Amino acid sequence: MTNAPTTNKKLISWVEEMARLCQPKNIHWCDGSKEEYNSLCELMLKTGTFTKLNEKKRPNCYLARSHPSDVARVEERTFICSANQDDAGPNNHWKEPAEMHRTLNGLFQGCMAGRTMYVLPFSMGPLESPIRKIGIEITDSPYVVANMQIMTRAGKAVLDALGDGDFIPCMHSVGAPLRPGQADVPWPCEPDVSRKYIVHFPEEPSIWSYGSGYGGNALLGKKCLALRIASVVARREGWLAEHMLILRLTSPEGKTHFIAAAFPSACGKTNLAMMLPSLPGWKVNCVGDDIAWICIGADGRMYAVNPETGFFGVAPGTSVKSNPNAIHTIERNTIFTNVALTPDMDVWWEDMGVPAPEKAIDWQGNEWTPGCGRKAAHPNARFTAPASQCPVIDPDWQKPEGVPLSAILFGGRRSSTIPLVNEALSWEHGVFLGSGCGSETTAAALGKVGALRRDPFAMLPFCGYNMADYFAYWLSMPQRTDRSKLPRIYFVNWFRKSSDDRWLWPGYGENSRVLKWICERVEGKAKAVSTPIGNLPTPDALDLTGLNIPSTDLQELLAVDIEGWKNEVEDIAASYKKFNNRVPATLLEQLDILRKNLNDAK
Ligand code: O2Y
Ligand code: MN
């Protein structure tokens, strides 16, 4: 290959082999430059993939509309192909690796005909970070390249850092070859979901994705590499790859704590990560909104790195009320996907907090008016925006060694039983609480609205190995460092409802009150009451200054619903059963302790 900007033999021969397989029209090695980004955007304007937005209102912003069959991650088509099925576990779809390679080889044969094959070097984590990982994504989608340029460190600097070293091959095709003379479409993909494949080979490691151009299916640095593959690599190397936001909370006196939080998808991680606290003088800075790579530092504390450089956030529901800092982040240099287009070439979505336009073009490209009975934006419509544009991006967000964690939060969308906040009594108790994570489904998710879906550690769709082994790995942390140096663990729930279906807690910026209590607990200052489920704030320990919340609501938020918890225990026990006796004894002991505490409670 004459035009390869590298001497890396493994890389050159892999690109040659993939070119022979996929038969592209051209090969383009991505340098990650602004010029390259702009020319990809120009290209996508020509093919109709992109629509340019109003330059005055949204400078350098574009809208893409996906094919209606290609709007979200496809969990049912996501595979972990470890040699041994038990290593993938009941939490993953599995196929024997050789068989899957045969299937993929068939699908990728000639799949890039008539298209350009882009070779995109990218790094997850700052290049100087000891745990950064370099991937090379080969893709036939310019949309994927443009999004990856925002979401990762990509291009020449990465290739230079790679040198002759090793990388993770990430192979992607939209699965829509062009015959000679065949016209392209704005969003090429394989519309038949049963022919889409998002495949991980953790032992190689490598990633193969076919048929989708959307988000987590196609931007392979994100969920595929930084969570599924990284979770396997992390266990081998002694660190953690987690589905967590990272934030810094600073008190009016300037005291700072870093907190990581794992919530299932669609529970407001992006909102919390860059929250505007309602408490006067308190400040939140954002380190990351979706993924945390956590390792034990030289001082024995846990340090968290955000491996990404952008936000791929859900647009519907994002408003000045829910997330003012996100609204500012997406004012410029942003790619919008599947939102509505207003007559003045701006974007709109449901619950944007501004009146609906009199008419718009909906996410499928059809005319839309308020009251027409359809949504203007797809519920999983997204913005892709640089993290550096967030008004509260943390000054340390790119520190190669990460930021030291004071606390880890787990949570979910739970309308009953789970209190506003609960402090774990030990690391083991905290791991138990994490294993019981779950969330009630919303209209944005597929399936029945309001059904509880267990999602341990918010990692169920993202853990690249058997989750029972993952629990054991988390439990091993006190053997890897001084237990007293580990972050304290909390379980939070902003989503409690009253029996007459009112929100009991206002959420958003008011969640800073809970974060304040957590930081004060870490400092040994705040009061708590010991209960059968953990330590809860005494009602006067939460700073409720200026918040008009009925005392009966507060009581409900901080009460232990014994009967509800008894059901919770049995439901968690049932969720463990799926792991066929592989769940660590320590977690079964925690379950028994909780059962006994609840039975002993009056
Ligand atoms: O539907 C997709 O492809 C995006 S999924 C996603 C994107 C950003 C952050 N988190 C998620 C998720 O599902 O957890
Ligand atoms: Mn996520």
Given a contact cutoff of 8 angstroms between Cβ atoms, the answer to whether 333 and 59 are in contact is: yes
Q: How do beta strands 302-305 and 292-296 pair? A: antiparallel
Give the model's pLDDT for residue 539.
84
pLDDT in tens, 119-136: 999 999 999 999 999 999
Give the model's pLDDT for residue 2.
63
Give the model's pLDDT for residue 443.
63
CA dist 312 and 380 (Å) reads 11
Give the model's pLDDT for residue 222.
98
Determine if ligand 1 sits within 6 Å of the CB of residue 215: yes
CA dist 206 and 200 (Å) reads 6
Candidate list 189, 267, 463, 519, residue with the active-site label: 267
pLDDT over threshold 70, residue 185: yes
In degrees and rounded to multiples of 5, residue 528 shows phi and psi of -145, 160
pLDDT in tens, 4-17: 999 999 999 999 99
Give the model's pLDDT for residue 450.
84
Average predicted confidence (pLDDT) for the chain: 97
CA dist 352 and 243 (Å) reads 26
CA dist 80 and 245 (Å) reads 24
pLDDT over threshold 80, residue 446: no
Give the ligand 1 atom nearest the CA of 313: 8
Give the model's pLDDT for residue 449.
76
Pinpoint the alpha helices (H) of 387-496: 427-435, 467-475, 477-480
Site to substitute for ligand 1 among 69, 382, 446, most atoms within 8 A of C-beta: 382
Given a contact cutoff of 8 angstroms between Cβ atoms, the answer to whether 134 and 119 are in contact is: no
In degrees and rounded to multiples of 5, residue 14 shows phi and psi of -65, -45
Q: How far apart are the first and last CA of the chain?
A: 75
Give the model's pLDDT for residue 444.
52
309: β partners? none
**Residue 419's pLDDT band (cuts 50, 70, 90):** very high
- Whole-number percent of the chain with pLDDT over 90: 97
Residue 267: active-site member: yes
Determine if ligand 1 sits within 6 Å of the CB of residue 308: no
Give the model's pLDDT for residue 568.
97
DSSP letter, residue 93: B
Residues ≥6 apart with Cβ < 8 Å to 76: 93, 193
Number of Cβ within a 10 Å radius of residue 56: 9
pLDDT in tens, 561-598: 999 999 999 999 999 999 989 999 999 999 999 999 99
Number of Cβ within a 10 Å radius of residue 182: 11
Task: Spell out the SS3 assignment of 492-557.
Answer: ECCCCECCCCCECCCCHHHHHHHHHHHHHHHCCCCCEEEECCEEEECHHHCCCCCCCCCHHHHHHH
